[in-house]
Amino acid sequence: MLSNLKKMSIRYPIYALLAIVTVLFVFLAYYNWILAIVGIPIVMFLFYSVLVIEFNNKRETEKYISTLSYRLKKVGEEALLEMPIGIILINEENTIEWANPFMASCFHEDTLVGRSLYEVAEPLIALVKQEVEDETVTLYERKFRVVQKPEERLLYLFDVTERVQIEQLYENERTVISIIFLDNYDELTQAMDDQRRSSLNSLVTSQLDKWAKDNGVFMKRISSDRFIGVLNEDILQQLEKDKFSILDQIREVTAKQHVPLTLSIGVGCGAPSLPELGTLAQSSLDLALGRGGDQVAIKLSNGKAKFYGGKTNPMEKRTRVRARVISHALKDIVLDSDKVIIMGHRYPDMDAIGSAIGISEVANMNDKESYIVVNFEELDTGVKRLMNELKKEPSLYSRFISPEDAHELITDETLLVIVDTHKPSMVIDEKLVRAIDKIVVIDHHRRGEEFINRALLVYMEPYASSTAELVTELIEYQEKGSKIDALEATCLLAGIIVDTKSFTLRTGSRTFDAASYLRSNGADTVLVQRFLKEDLSTYIKRAQLIESVYFYRDGIAIATGQPDEVNEQVLIAQAADTLLTMDGVGASFVVSKRAENTVSISARSLGDVNVQIIMESLHGGGHLTNAATQIEDSTVDEAVILLQKAIDDYLGGYTE
C-alpha cells in the first residue's frame, strides 16, 4: 500500500514537468522551427511514456483496491462466523432471525434461526423488554456479558465465565478478621478456684480450637476472655450457612457444667486494608455486646450489618458502680446545660413516659428547667389516663410540651435526653435530634444498627427490665436527700410493671430493688392498675383480634385486625401476649392498623424465636421475647406480607 501511495504522489510532478516542456517547445518553435521539428519525436515519446505509466498505475491501484475489499469482506465474514463472540438478531416477537455459529454452539444447538428467545435463552427476555444495554447473565452454566442495540434488536454476547470465576476467586480469598469474646467469663470465674477455672478454660478452648480447625480458621487467644480469628470470605459464607453453630455448642457444653457461658463474635469484612478490618471487627463486637451478647455481628464496609444467634435472654451483669458513674456523669452534663428537653419514642408507652418524668426530676434536682416532648395525638388509653392524673399536679403537667414548642426553646446549651429508644427514626421528632448538639441516650433495648452516634453519654443496658428501672437507679445516686414525689414514683413503677408484665418477664434482682425504692417513695400500685384498666369494649376487641389467628409456620401464630379498624398499641400488645399463652404457640404476631396511615405489629416469643431480629428487619426493635414495629403508608395486608417475608428471612439467616 505504501508503494502505491508513493507512485500516486510522484504522478503530479511528472505532469508539471510535461507542461513546462510543452511551453518550452512552443517558444523554441517560435524562434527556431528547425529545432522544433527535430524535438517533436522527443516530446511525443515523453507523452507516450507518461500515458503508459499512468495506465499501469491505474491498473495496479484498481487491483490493490479490489484485493483489499476482498480481504476486508473476508475478515468481516470470518469475524461474524468464527470469532468467539455471540451475535443474535431478533424480531419484534423475540424470534431469532439470525445468529452466528458461535452462539449456536454455546446453546448446544445446530442452528438458532426461527427459534423463540423464550425457548433457548429466557433470561435474555427481561433484558430485551427493559432495553438494558449492558448486563451479565447466566446461560447454560456460563456467564455472558450482554450488550444490546435496542434499535437494531441486536444482541452481542461475550463469554466472561473465566473472568467472573477469577473475580469470584478474588472475593472468596479476601481476608476477614473476627474477634471472639467470652461474654460473662469474668463474672463466672470470680468465685471459682484455680482447678475449676482451668477446667473451664480447657473446655472452652478445646471447643473453639476444634471449630477453628474444622472450618480453616486461624485462631489465637489474646487474653483470658478474648480470641482473634483470621479467615477468608469463602469460609465466612460457610459459617453463615451453618449459622455459627459454635454459639450453640459453647452454650450447651458449658451448661452441662452448670456454667452459663456464652460467646459473642464481631466480624469485619469487605474492607481493603487490615486496619479497617480490625476496626470493623471491634465495632461489630461492640454491636453484638450492645444487643445482649450470645450472637455474631458481621459489619460490612458499607455500614450494613448481619446478625446470627441471640437465642438467649441476656444475663444481668451490670453493676451498681456503673449506675453510680453514669448518674454522676449525667449530673455534670445537666449542670453544664441551660435546660433539659426529654423525648421518647413515637406512640409512647408507660415506660417512655415514666422514664421521661424521672429524667425531668433529675434535672429539677440539679436546679435546671426541663420539658418533656409528647405528641398529644399519639397517646393510647393507658397513657391518657396517666396524663389526666398528671393534670392534678400543674407543676408536673406543665413540663409536657409539643415538638413545635420544643424547637422554640432550643439554644446552643440545651441538652436533649432520649429515653426508651436509641433509633433516630423512632423518636417523636427527629428534627430535634439534628437540631441539638448535646444528646444523652438512655435505653434498655438491644442495640440496633441504626443509632444516635453523636451522643455525649450513652447508657444502654439490655439486661434491665425497662428504661424506668435504669432511670430509677440514676435518681438514687443523685444528691443525698433528693427525693421524688409519690406521683412521679408511681409513673416510674407503671413503666416497670408494663414492661415486665407485672414482674413476670425479664425481671432481675435489680428490678425488685428499683421497685422497692419507688414504693418507699410513695408509688401507688393501685393507681398503676387504674392506668392499666380496660373496659369491656376493649376486651371484646382483643378477642376479635385473637379470633383471626392462623399458624404461618410451626409454632408461629399471626393475628390481623380489620383493614379499616384502628386499634390502640396497648390493645395490640395485649393480644400478642394473650396469644402466647395458647397451647402450641411459640411466637405470636399481631398486625393491626394503628393510625390513619400506620400499621403496628406487636411480637412476642417464648425464647425459641428471636422476635427482636424479625422486628428489626421491619425497622422496629425490642428484645428477644418482646418486640414491635410500626410501618407507615401501608395496609394491614401489605404489612402481613412484609412480616411473612421477615419471618422467612429470619429462619434462613437475618440481614439488616
Q: Which of 107-111, 218-222, 307-311 has the highest mean pLDDT?
A: 218-222
Strand-strand pairing, 263-269 and 175-182:
antiparallel
Cα-atom radius of gyration of the chain, to the nearest Å?
Answer: 40
Measured in degrees and rounded to the nearest 5, phi and psi for residue 417 equal -110, 120
Instruction: Give the tens place of pLDDT for each residue, 544-600.
Output: 999 999 999 889 999 999 988 888 887 898 899 899 889 889 999 999 998 778 899
Confidence of residue 481 (pLDDT cuts 50, 70, 90): low
Q: Please check the confidence at residue 654 and state whether its pLDDT lies above 60.
A: no
Q: What is the percent of the chain where pLDDT is above 70?
A: 86
Cα gap 218→227, rounded to integer Å: 10
Tell me the per-residue pLDDT of 116-137, one tens digit each, with 9 for 90 and over.
877 777 777 778 777 777 888 8
| CB of 318 closer than 8 Å to CB of 187 | no
- What gap in Å lies between CA 424 and CA 541, rounded to an integer? 32
Q: Are 382 and 412 in contact (CB under 8 A)?
A: no
pLDDT band of 139, cuts 50, 70, 90: confident
**pLDDT tens track for 256-290:** 888 888 899 999 998 888 999 998 898 888 888 87
> Which set of grid coordinates corresponds to residue 199?
477446667
**pLDDT score at 377:** 86
Q: Which residue would you say has higher pLDDT here, 293 or 543?
A: 543
H/E element holding 551?
strand 550-553
Assign 319 a pLDDT band (cuts: 50, 70, 90). Answer: low
Angle at 422 between CA 471 and CA 630, to 5 degrees: 115
**How confident is the model over 134-143, as a mean pLDDT?**
80
pLDDT tens column, 200-252:
888 999 999 999 999 999 999 998 889 999 999 999 999 988 889 899 899 88
Confidence band of 373 (pLDDT split at 50, 70, 90): very high
Helix ranges (H only) for 477-535 are 486-500, 509-520, 525-532
Confidence of residue 9 (pLDDT cuts 50, 70, 90): very low
Highest mean pLDDT among 65-69, 118-122, 398-402: 398-402
Segment 141-167 mean pLDDT: 82
Cα separation, 277 vs 175, whole angstroms: 8
**pLDDT confidence of residue 539:** 85
Q: What pLDDT does residue 189 have?
A: 82
How confident is the model at residue 7, as a pLDDT?
A: 45
The pLDDT confidence band at residue 502, using thresholds 50, 70 and 90, is confident
* Sheet arrangement for strand 400-401: 400-401, 369-373, 339-343, 414-419, 438-443, 457-460
> Could you tell me what percent of the chain has a pLDDT over 90?
32
* Model pLDDT, residue 334: 93
Residue 179 confidence (pLDDT): 95
Query: Which of 639, 622, 627, 613 lies closest to 560 in space, CA to CA?
Result: 639
> pLDDT band at residue 6, thresholds of 50, 70 and 90?
very low
State the sign of the Cα–Cα–Cα–Cα dihedral 508, 514, 517, 522.
negative
Tell me how far apart the alpha carbons of residues 390 and 400 are, in angstroms, rounded to a whole number.
Answer: 10
More confident residue, 621 or 249: 249
- Pairing, β 626-632 against β 598-605: antiparallel
- Give the span between the Cα atoms of 230 and 220, in whole angstroms: 9
pLDDT tier for residue 4 given thresholds of 50, 70 and 90:
very low
pLDDT band at 30 (very low <50, low <70, confident <90, very high): low
Predicted confidence band of residue 1 (pLDDT cuts 50, 70, 90): very low
Order of strands across the sheet that contains 142-149: 96-99, 85-90, 154-159, 142-149, 134-139
**Distances from the Cα of 77 to the Cα of 67, 100, 103, angstroms:** 15, 10, 15
Q: In angstroms, rounded to a whole number, what is the distance separating the alpha carbons of residues 40 and 273?
A: 90
Q: Residue 2 — pLDDT band, cuts 50, 70, 90?
A: very low
Mean pLDDT in the chain? 83
Cα separation, 587 vs 606, whole angstroms: 6
Cell of residue 615, nine digits = 422486628
Q: Angle 490-492-497 (CA atoms, 0-180°, nearest 5)? A: 90
Model confidence at 31, in pLDDT bands (50, 70, 90)? low
pLDDT, residue 655, reads: 41
* pLDDT score at 519: 92
pLDDT average, residue stretch 322-327: 83
Q: Does the pLDDT value for residue 656 go beyond 50?
A: no
Q: For residue 494, what pLDDT band results from cuts at 50, 70 and 90?
A: very high
Name the pairing type of β-strands 400-401 and 369-373.
parallel
